[in-house]
Structure 1
């Protein structure tokens, strides 16, 4: 079945599968470490409350059958175990039906989490992982030749990811058209990385070159993915290099890494044989008839479901990061259609009851990723996703993003909830509860070269106003 197989992509498929399993591993680790405070029975947006409002049809998830924090932890740890098994290569050596079962379980478990994750899981990279993970179910194992139709399906995902992001920029903020967006983006992006300060201070002509190169990578290069080798491989390589540039300039969870993983699936075995000490030659792979039929059926399903995402690409009212079905099978993507010119941050502060004769003193909670202390240099977290830090960035832009979880976050600080404090870098009170908590809104700016050399740290800030008035435990008790 020459029309069905893609014999030049054995190694590419293997690299793609192992890399995708690594992304799954990170996603499930994030779930294990953060769910109790965010989504648990005593979380800020409890899953049991959500399940009472939605049906299985609206949000397919095994948690409709039963929910407990222990079950959620079991789901996430099962995902971690299966991811590790797949990274280690065991899944690839199983009989084809069992290989498919492992990938299907990974997809179903993560789908169950995303569909009850509410605002904490409302990011495009969740759908991207699920869509790619669904295709991975049918890619075969070590004894079957890579199916050409689904390798093209992976390129179709990468095309929509890149081309959609390029179109949303051209249709959105004018600074993408006049090439000035990077005058602001490195400073105002959701979670700067350790090199973001340096990127921000690059010469402005270089910022314009960066934007122009981005337009070329997202609006022109994606069409080359569907051309013969070596053109498609070169185009994928350009995308991978561009995404690595984005990785070192900021923290965007696993968005950039998913694009890299998809790009790796396009590179031919001749490239991998040159790069890695692996023999690129392979015997003819098995092609069970039932698997051929199934792959063709899945390919047809993807083609049919692609109608709405494709129509969205050419629409003047292009939606960004939207799912058109509750299984997240075929989605639309995009990022940063608008760029903030000013960075606002919420500083959360607490105060204990002062001793007699002492002045009351407000002390600030420190977050892991989002800017708080002016001298604390940003760290690299991606592909790990700090969900609370990201939502704090959105809340600073508009209070509507803070409802209803932010007051619940404050209430848990007031009782020094252990799981909530684990989401933070440091509580100024250790494991003791404060008497009062408030939130202030600041404008943050990067310091200049001169200020940095003078020891002022990487940030400066100016108070804008009050985000949340001082509240006590009694305030929450009175409100029920």
Structure 2
């Protein structure tokens, strides 16, 4: 059974497991703090109604047995506590079956949340975390050497993440092939970071180099992950460097962070630290379990691979309700202009041309032109992200924007806690409306003169004033 063990990968496994536990922690904390106003009993898209409409086989979840906001909170905080324990090394302090059970519980709890989260949990990194989390059940602990088969499955996942993202760009927007997409992307991405203004202001030739490097990294380098060492480690290093660049230039929840974590599966880091004492012989049943896992992943990979090869490739799709083997990709299309939906309220009982409107500020998305973009990733601000989609098309907000305005009119505290500021701290406003603005980064001259990061101009009314 020696071929099935990879003792030199002990540090890579350690970083992979700890990194996954950290990402799980971010996911569970987000659910504990955001799920209730978004999809709780009185949320913008209530989960109880969804559970009545969708059967268990299409959306497996513990909440088909019972849903309440209290139970959701119990699940989320339990997941957060277990994630923190695994981050601190719990899995290496218990027997192998108990360690596997701990990872399985994490996966089942987060799957239960994702499968009732509706539009708020429709992002590709949810499936990515679940797929990686399922594989983590079979990574073993200090009682076993790192299993070669499971690590190869992690590399296969990383390959699909990177190669899928590269293909969707090459086949999608023509600006990727012309190397001009980054003329716009840093400005129009969903949630800019503190450095995005500076990235946007790089010279055009550097933007073209960025785009070309992206194609090399996502279309060529992923194949090298399967090569012998040290080539695979060098390929993993390129992936890590690329992801760090993306982390610096934007907020994409835990997508880039988790991609870095996955890269540890391909890296030989044995030169960094002396290996610990040799692990006991791997139990035969555990080796058999990893082989069964490999067969399952191979079978379920058929449709994701077919999607990769299709000229009509889709982004971020799950082919099974357990999110075991998925397809990934991002930014097949890059928007050329940035629009923002701005929510405003007023105390005036009667609206006149002189009515004074005050803005609600969000935590992450652009609002006040003078406020520097903030860094939130790997934490995911779900409402802020959906507001970006709402600005692209009202269809994205059809089910939840009006309820959001109604919650503001009612002064709903859980909803207000999702926002950065409440301009009506004493009593709710008499009216709430939404307006669409065109945003662009200021020029260097404008930045020096005004201190603003953004320049904005009104476009049109997005949601007419709603009375209390």
Q: TM-score range, shorter-chain basis?
A: over 0.9
> Structure 1 CA distance, aligned partners of 2:152 and 2:390?
39
Q: Is residue 354–residue 360 contact of structure 1 (8 Å, CA) maintained in 2?
A: no
Match of 1:442 in 2: 437
> Structure 2 CA distance, aligned partners of 1:302 and 1:395?
36
Q: Is residue 269–residue 280 contact of structure 1 (8 Å, CA) maintained in 2?
A: no
Which stretch of the first structure deviates more once superposed, 26-35 or 288-297?
288-297
Deviation at 1:350?
0.3
Match of 1:330 in 2: 325
Match of 2:427 in 1: 432
Match of 1:276 in 2: none
> Structure 2 CA distance, aligned partners of 1:431 and 1:205?
52
Deviation at 1:359?
5.0
Match of 1:367 in 2: 362
Match of 2:334 in 1: 339
Q: Is residue 418–residue 431 contact of structure 1 (8 Å, CA) maintained in 2?
A: no
1:468 aligns with 2:463: yes
Deviation at 1:354?
6.4
Q: Is residue 447–residue 456 contact of structure 1 (8 Å, CA) maintained in 2?
A: no
Deviation at 1:271?
4.0
Q: Is residue 39–residue 47 contact of structure 1 (8 Å, CA) maintained in 2?
A: yes
The 5 A counterparts of 1:52-91 are: 52-91=52-91
Deviation at 1:358?
12
Deviation at 1:333?
0.1
Match of 2:232 in 1: 232
The 5 A counterparts of 1:254-293 are: 254-273=254-273, 279-293=274-288
- 1:31-88 CA-to-partner distances (Å, cap 9, x unmatched) read 0110111011010011101001000001000000000100000000000110111011
* SS of equivalent residue, structure 2 residue 455: strand
Match of 1:137 in 2: 137
Q: Any runs of at least 4 consecutive aligned residues in structure 1 with deviations exceeding 4 A, and if so which?
A: none
User: Structure 1 length normalisation: TM-score?
Assistant: 0.96
C-alpha spacing 1:314/1:445, structure 2 compared with 1 (3 Å)? same
Matched residues, number: 468
The 5 A counterparts of 1:384-395 are: 384-395=379-390
RMSD over aligned CA atoms reads 1.5
* SS of equivalent residue, structure 1 residue 317: coil
The 5 A counterparts of 1:345-360 are: 345-353=340-348, 360=355
Match of 2:117 in 1: 117
Deviation at 1:456?
4.3
Match of 2:415 in 1: 420
Deviation at 1:431?
5.1
Deviation at 1:427?
1.1
Q: Is residue 143–residue 282 contact of structure 2 (8 Å, CA) maintained in 1?
A: no
Match of 2:3 in 1: 3
* SS of equivalent residue, structure 1 residue 3: helix
Q: Any stretches of 5+ residues in structure 2 without a counterpart?
A: none
> Structure 1 CA distance, aligned partners of 2:271 and 2:194?
32
- 1:240-262 CA-to-partner distances (Å, cap 9, x unmatched) read 01000000100000000010000
* SS of equivalent residue, structure 1 residue 79: helix
Deviation at 1:293?
1.2
* SS of equivalent residue, structure 1 residue 462: strand
Deviation at 1:432?
2.0
C-alpha spacing 1:175/1:285, structure 2 compared with 1 (3 Å)? farther
Deviation at 1:282?
3.8
C-alpha spacing 1:431/1:128, structure 2 compared with 1 (3 Å)? farther
> Structure 1 CA distance, aligned partners of 2:426 and 2:65?
36
> Structure 2 CA distance, aligned partners of 1:96 and 1:433?
55
Match of 1:477 in 2: none
The 5 A counterparts of 1:201-220 are: 201-220=201-220
Q: Is residue 349–residue 430 contact of structure 2 (8 Å, CA) maintained in 1?
A: no
Q: Any stretches of 5+ residues in structure 1 without a counterpart?
A: 274-278, 474-480
Match of 2:165 in 1: 165
Q: Is residue 272–residue 280 contact of structure 1 (8 Å, CA) maintained in 2?
A: no
Deviation at 1:8?
1.4
> Structure 1 CA distance, aligned partners of 2:105 and 2:427?
41
> Structure 1 CA distance, aligned partners of 2:291 and 2:230?
26
Deviation at 1:281?
4.7
Match of 1:244 in 2: 244
Q: Is residue 351–residue 361 contact of structure 1 (8 Å, CA) maintained in 2?
A: yes
* SS of equivalent residue, structure 1 residue 67: coil
> Structure 1 CA distance, aligned partners of 2:213 and 2:271?
24
Q: Is residue 11–residue 270 contact of structure 2 (8 Å, CA) maintained in 1?
A: no
* SS of equivalent residue, structure 2 residue 53: coil
Match of 1:185 in 2: 185
Match of 1:49 in 2: 49
> Structure 2 CA distance, aligned partners of 1:307 and 1:431?
57
